[in-house]
Structure 1
Amino acid sequence: MAHMSDVRNIAAQGRYELAIDGQVAIAVYERRDGALVFTHTEVPQTLEGTGVGSRLVKAALADAREQGMKVVPICQFIASYIERHSEEQDLLALDAPG
């Protein structure tokens, strides 16, 4: 089972990655005006329903918080995650860039 420390921020590619059993789940983002704009999340079909996506998003949001960044969840998966986790809602950019 993957740990939060297994999630890597590949800044040059604008994405967070979580590799499990040779497969990679990703959360794609763009940096805009002090915010991370999450545009897409993808979990390999064989890993769907196992919590991989949630672990990926939780770690990505923790990293955004550590960097002092706000978040704009264009991606519906990330928007739903934040909606379900009130402790993450302070990360939302009120004046969403882009």
Structure 2
Amino acid sequence: MSNSGDVQVRLDAAAGRFEILVGDVVAGQAEYHDHPDGVREFPHTVVASEFGGRGLAGQLVGEALRVTREEGLRVRPTCSFVAGYIEKNPDSVEVA
């Protein structure tokens, strides 16, 4: 997974989410649900307010979409932030 200085993105498959950590603190998460038709749905992304304004949500979603693309899955972006990210970065992933 991605690691930039004290910021790291990791996959917690058991919990169904990607997490972004600042140091040892989970600063945010992007929840997902995998469907049998090869689609990964992203319904919710959140970054704690004390970590706002640092671009962490974009880093988190970018890495989550990169991993999803590498896994050969398409994306259903029901989260408005994920949908906006894909709109600005249309080559980031295949949309279902």
- Give TM-score, length-normalised by structure 1: 0.84
Counterpart amino acid of residue 24 in structure 1: A
Q: How far off its partner does 1:37 sit? A: 0.2
1:66 aligns with 2:67: no
Structure 1: stretches of 5+ with no match in the other structure = 94-98
Counterpart CA distance in 1 for 2:8 and 2:69 is 17
1:29 aligns with 2:32: yes
Q: How far off its partner does 1:48 sit? A: 1.4
- Which structure has greater strand proportion? 2
Partner of 2:46: 42
Structure 2: stretches of 5+ with no match in the other structure = none
Alignment match of 1:76 (pick from 63, 77, 80): 80
Identity of paired residues, percent? 37
Counterpart amino acid of residue 86 in structure 1: P
Partner of 1:6: 8
